[in-house]
Amino acid sequence: MNKKLRSNFERGTSFWAVRRAQWRALGLTDADMEKPKIAVINTSSELAICFSHLDGIAKVVKDAIRAAGGLPFEIRTTAPSDFIHSPGHRGNYILAMRDLITNDIEVQVEGARLDGMICLTSCDKTVPGQLMAAARTNIPTLMVPCGYQPSGVFNNHHVDIEEVFLGAGHYVAGKIGFDELLGMSENAIRGPGVCSGMGTANSMHIVCEALGMALPGSAPVLANSERMFDFVRAAGARIVAMVNEDLRPRQIMTRGAFANAARAVLAVSGSINCIKHLQATAVEAETDIDFYKLFEECTRSTPVLSAVRPIGDTSIEAFEAAGGARSVMKQLEPLLDLDALTVTGQSVGANLRDAIVGDPEIIRPLDRPLSDKSGIVLVRGNLASGGGIVKVGLRRDKKLQFDGHAKCFEAPDDAIAALREGKLTAGDAVILRGLGVRGGPAMGMASRVVFALDGAGLGPDVAVITDGQLSGLVNKGLVVGEVNPEAATGGTLALVRDGDRITVDAEAGSIELHVPESELTARRAHLVLKDQHSEEGWLAIYERSVQPLQQGAALVQHRKA
């Protein structure tokens, strides 16, 4: 071995002696203790099916690390699942748990001075939490996508978890009965892994590959398939080589790599949540990349090449068979930074040299896209000077303009109650505020309201405007999410009153509140902001430390020396 490992302490020192005593008691030999020490980051949990298979994967990857001459140590972190952890504290734990993962990894990996890490990527927030930790610690790191769940059939129709989520909104609105919702929920999931649509989890798995942080061809993949385990074993061998080569995340996470990730998300019309997660990763890498601006630049020239459910009718299985992220990147090749370095030690261009697109109907070429316009739009105006995000998908039969009047709510439950009472009608701009990174804190989920409106048949005729976050899976109607600045910090959203006229034009990228500036100034003088010390426990720490969305809602703002 050519490289001196940071984990190998000087013999005879207290660090060496006490660690040796601990590890000898674990059955390790002195020869083991000289090997590259690899953290295997595992978010295993019995709370959610997303994580239920990770212990088995960890065992296989540890065996592969040992076979390659490394010494693996399995490390557990928290495991957030939107569908399981949303009930507590109005759903505000969800985004906050992303940063808890980052800090948990730092404490364990840096405290023990381990040499590298493999991250078993699964549900939504675990992936960015791990990427952020890789960027922060800057030790050789490899992301391993651990697969999507098989979905089911109900009443002779495909059903998956996103349809259950949507169906719950339809049930609230009275569009479907309880028995139908019950049957959907009993048949939607047929095995472990993340949601099977192109939601945040699969989008972030694709991001890992496009960013250069996962092995080429590894995303997406069916959970617990032999193909997945082939990549798991390859990753176990590769991470040991990366430590010996001293190949680090900040060598990979360049501006070109982030642009490649942005284009990959746009090409599949992926989750809008990827934007803030990649901005947070850029912050942790101590770069000066404005990912929101970079993403916006990429929207102007990146068409939609594939439409996996729920954006289109393509199944995730068909997308994987067509080549997944690697084939998307092959089709995007003329637009990519081909010199960007990856975990293979080779450039993106080298990795794509022999790539073949399995089905050019599933993953289209640039000259024959499904849509020549971006499926994700950033809108700006006096109601969102820092921007808001609209998922427009393929734009087919999608209402892109809105002109109506505000009805304001401080909580999703209040909006749903108003809907049940018949107080929401066509032409309403439903304002959901106080759900941003400070106001939540940690971004409350607004999708329940969106789905209930859709179930009530109002989806095409209203707009929803919120500083909260939206499901990475399904969005219906014209919805502007993550409005910035948020209401809790005095953003214009806090000044909107019932009856105010609002216009949104997703085609032109604009959002405007039609109230004279003098009136807004008068309203601002009487605005009372939320007490920023209103929480307890972890959310209190988050509330005091979180940065705005422009910094990805990361907890720290790094300063370069």
Output the CA torsion sign for 86, 80, 486, 373.
negative
List the chain residues with pLDDT less than 70. 1-3, 397, 472-475, 532-534, 557-561
Q: Which pLDDT belongs to residue 445? A: 87
CATH code reported for the domain at 376-530:
3.50.30.80
> How far is residue 83's CA from residue 361's CA, in Å, rounded to a whole number?
33
**Which helix (H) or strand (E) element contains residue 255?**
helix 255-267
Q: Give the model confidence (pLDDT) of 55-104 as tens digits.
A: 999 999 999 999 999 999 999 999 999 889 888 888 889 899 999 999 99
The DSSP 8-state label assigned to residue 115 in this structure reads S
Q: Give the model confidence (pLDDT) of 491-534 as tens digits.
A: 999 999 999 999 999 999 999 999 999 999 999 999 988 776 66
**Catalytic site positions:** 471
Q: Which pLDDT belongs to residue 473? A: 58
Q: Which pLDDT belongs to residue 396? A: 77
Q: Which pLDDT belongs to residue 56? A: 98
- What single letter denotes the amino acid at residue 17? A
CATH code reported for the domain at 36-150+193-352:
3.40.50.2300
- Give the residue among 384, 433, 301, 412 at the shortest CA–CA distance from 550: 384
309-333 per-residue burial string, b: 16 or more CB within 10 A, e: under 16: bbbbebbbebbbebbbbbbbbbbbe
Q: Which pLDDT belongs to residue 1? A: 45
**Domain boundaries in the chain?**
36-150+193-352, 155-190, 376-530
> How far is residue 124's CA from residue 138's CA, in Å, rounded to a whole number?
22
Block residue for tokens 């928290």: 78
Q: Full-prediction pTM beyond 0.75?
A: yes
> How far is residue 38's CA from residue 428's CA, in Å, rounded to a whole number?
54
Q: Which pLDDT belongs to residue 532? A: 66
